[in-house]
Structure 1
Amino acid sequence: MPYKEKEIAKLYYPIGEVAEMFEVNTSMIRFYEKEFDILQPKKNAKGNRLFRPEDIDNLKIIFNLIKNKGFTIQGAKEHLKSNKNEVHEQQKVIDALEKLKSFMTELKDQL
């Protein structure tokens, strides 16, 4: 059986890396942090924000609601409060489908 290298996951991501992941400015990440209670990054002694993987998942949910589904910020807040479990389950499905799509694309390129 061939050796399969594990993907290394960080415990904390600085705000600059998070902004690059979502292709936005750091100011937008800070704004969403103020607006949405589910985003609570840790801060080090210097005050730099350190985002956990859970925070990244919550940001994905927020971006999906605002950018893809067209919610306003207030509408996204209300939707998250009223459908918390459902939103997380939907995001898990979206993530799984994106992984499958990238795998299929990679497989197609190898053929």
Structure 2
Amino acid sequence: MKEVYYKIGEVSQMLEVEQYTLRYLESTLKLKIKRDERGERIYSEHDIDILRLILQLKNEKGLNTTAIKLALDNMESNDSPAVKPVSDTELQLRELGVVLTQVLDNNEELLHQNREIQEQLRQLENRLDKIDQKRSQRIDELIELWKNEQEERKRSWLSLFRRK
């Protein structure tokens, strides 16, 4: 049975994305998309399945291309032949799912750590604000004290003239 290949325009319509998005994913994720004799991209069903998975991870799970690339690299590290039975592909997709779950868990942990750091930063900012308020209040008190002393000196000087 001969494998069916699709051109980039057809795949773009199937996946409801622009052609430049497919080219971007190919270049950033180092996808190995076949080309015909004219150098135009041709996509197999397997390629389309991988692209669907990538778009789902990107759009629904919020993964960036770096995380997706790590998962794909892990999937490709099995060094199996280019033509694989469907069961091998399904197994790889499951493995990819496990890796992506781990990546998501790591992302969640990083987000939790980020929230903790933000809370600590907020607490430090509050402490700095309190210290700044106390400093400003003390400066105001010292200025007021200095003004009172200056007033007292003026009175004292004037009182010298009045006594005579």
Once superposed, which parts of structure 1, at least 4 consecutive aligned residues long, lie more than 2 Å away?
A: 79-82, 84-87
Structure with greater Cα Rg: 2
Distance apart, 1:80 and its partner CA: 2.8
2:43 corresponding residue in structure 1: 51
1:52 Cα shift? 0.6
Question: Aligned partners of 2:52, 2:32: CA distance in 1, in Å?
Answer: 14
Aligned residue identity for 1:11 = V
CA RMSD of aligned residues (A): 2.4
Structure having the larger proportion of residues in helix: 2
> What's the TM-score once normalised by structure 2's chain length?
0.44
| 1:13–1:50 CA contact under 8 A, matched in 2 | yes
Shift of 1:87: 6.2
| Mapped pair 1:89 → 2:94 | yes
Q: Runs of 5+ in structure 2 lacking a partner?
A: 76-89, 97-164
1:41 paired with 2:41, answer no
Corresponding residue SS for 2:42: strand
Give the secondary structure class of the aligned counterpart of 1:50.
strand
Residues paired across the two proteins, number: 81
Structure 1: stretches of 5+ with no match in the other structure:
1-8, 92-111
> What are the residue-to-residue correspondences of 1:1-111 with 2, within 5 Å?
11-37=4-30, 39-82=31-74, 84=75, 88-89=93-94
CA distance in 2, matches of 1:17, 1:10: 16
Aligned to 2:83: none
Instruction: Give the Cα separation in 2 of the matches to 1:61 and 1:44.
Output: 24
Deviation at 1:89, TM superposition (A): 2.5
Q: After TM superposition, give the deviation of residue 68 of structure 1 in Å.
A: 0.8
Is the 1:80–1:87 Cα contact (8 Å) retained in structure 2?
no
Question: Looking at both structures, which has the greater relative contact order when contacts are Cα pairs under 8 Å and sequence separation is at least 6?
Answer: 1
- Identity score, percent: 31
Q: What's the counterpart of residue 106 of structure 2?
A: none
